[in-house]
């Protein structure tokens, strides 16, 4: 029986099964993600992330959601990929700046190392995209900011942002009482977002602090979403709740991320952790 080695990792509880293709063969990754993501019969996770060779960066990241669909970018996932390549010696021990190739372009990570292991990473996530056609979102204006959107019979005010993947951010008075399992799919499959959408429900604590829950396309509610936290801070600044160029702490169910939005880019800082190593029979 053939076996495939994996590493279970998480970034503030946004957990994936990480698999290296540097020394392991190609598989039916869509089917394997569905199988391994199951929290009762598989390893359990929000999907699988492949760590692959790249001709333009230190490594390439591919993401498959729990439903088998391939994602473009994952903020928590890329921090764990940075930890993976460093901790496993795929880059030299003195290399604490690494580059990761993604479907959203090459991203640069600054790694914080303690006792030979990565503890956290600071990621340049690139510029936020607000043009609806590039998100993509169906909207007549040049920016979809604080725009009314009817979802399952209720009107929500939303802001659309792409961080390499599409996000719909809405500000609410209470995040804890939301029935995300009921309303999340209506946002995800709304016709305004032809490629489906990740949706962030956000409470403003103050101009430096936000609380967020997220419904991710292909995975349902997750305990954290790095690109979602970035999109949330972008939306908060564009709506006047927070200020550009300042660190904003985003409280998610799994932990905290610190995000800074500028005219040029979005910077995300947060932890990365290894849970365990294992093998799965194919």
What are 170's two structure tokens?
A: 């809405």
Active site residue 168: no
132-264 CATH:
3.10.310.10
Contact predicate 58/88, CB 8 Å: no
Query: Of the candidates 208, 210, 216, 198, which has an alpha carbon nearest to the alpha carbon of residue 250?
Result: 210
Give the CATH fold of the 3-122+270-281 domain.
Diaminopimelate Epimerase; Chain A, domain 1 (3.10.310)
- CA R_g for the chain: 18
Dump pLDDT digits (tens) for 236-259: 999 999 999 999 999 999 999 999
**Length in residues, the chain:** 282
* Separation between Cα atoms, residue 220 and residue 38, nearest integer Å: 13
Closest CA to 48 of 62, 27, 28: 62
What is residue 53's predicted lDDT score, i.e. its pLDDT? Answer: 98
What per-residue confidence (pLDDT) applies to 229? Answer: 98
pLDDT in tens, 179-231: 999 999 999 999 999 999 999 999 999 999 999 999 999 999 999 999 999 99
| CB contact set of 157 (below 8 Å; sequence gap of 6+) | 146, 147, 148, 149, 170, 171
* Residue 268 Cα distances to 46, 121, 125, 216, 259, angstroms: 20, 8, 7, 18, 5
Residues of the chain with pLDDT under 50: none
pLDDT of residue 90: 97
Q: How far apart are CA 257 and CA 271, in angstroms?
A: 8
Q: Which of 102, 72, 98 is nearest to 87 (CA)?
A: 98
pLDDT at 1: 78
Query: Residue 25: CB partners within 8 Å, gap ≥ 6?
Result: none
In the set 74, 80, 168, 242, the catalytic residue is 74
Clarify whether 52 is annotated catalytic.
no
Q: Which two tokens stand for residue 212?
A: 């967020």
Predicted local confidence at residue 201, as pLDDT: 98
Q: Which of 168, 225, 230, 237 is catalytic?
A: 225
Domains 3-122+270-281 and 132-264 share a fold: yes
Domain ranges of the chain: 3-122+270-281, 132-264
């Amino acid at each position: 029986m053939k076996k495939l080695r994996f590493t279970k990792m998480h970034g503030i509880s946004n957990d994936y099964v990480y698999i290296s293709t540097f020394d392991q063969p190609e598989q039916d990754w869509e089917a394997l993600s569905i199988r391994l993501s199951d929290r009762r019969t598989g390893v359990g996770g929000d999907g699988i992330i492949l760590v692959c060779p790249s001709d333009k960066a230190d490594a390439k990241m591919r993401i498959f959601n729990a439903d088998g669909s391939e994602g473009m970018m994952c903020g928590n996932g890329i921090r764990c990929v940075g930890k993976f390549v460093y901790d496993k010696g795929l880059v030299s021990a003195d290399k604490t700046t690494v580059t990761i190739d993604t479907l959203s372009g090459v991203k640069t990570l600054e790694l914080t190392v303690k006792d030979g292991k990565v503890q956290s990473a600071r990621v340049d996530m690139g510029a936020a995209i607000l043009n609806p056609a590039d998100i993509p979102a169906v909207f007549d204006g040049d920016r979809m900011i604080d725009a009314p959107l009817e979802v399952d019979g209720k009107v929500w005010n939303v802001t659309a942002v792409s961080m390499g993947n599409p996000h719909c951010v809405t500000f609410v008075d209470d995040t804890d009482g939301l029935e995300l399992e009921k309303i999340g799919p209506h946002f995800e499959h709304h016709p305004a977002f032809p490629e489906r959408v990740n949706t962030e429900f956000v409470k403003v604590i103050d101009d430096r602090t936000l609380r967020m829950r997220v419904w991710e396309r292909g995975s349902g509610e997750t305990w954290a979403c790095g690109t979602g936290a970035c999109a949330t801070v972008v939306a908060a600044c564009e709506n006047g709740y927070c200020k550009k160029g300042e660190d904003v702490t985003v409280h998610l169910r799994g932990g905290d991320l610190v995000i800074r939005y500028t005219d040029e880019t979005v910077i995300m800082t947060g932890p990365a952790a290894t849970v365990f190593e294992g093998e799965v029979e194919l």
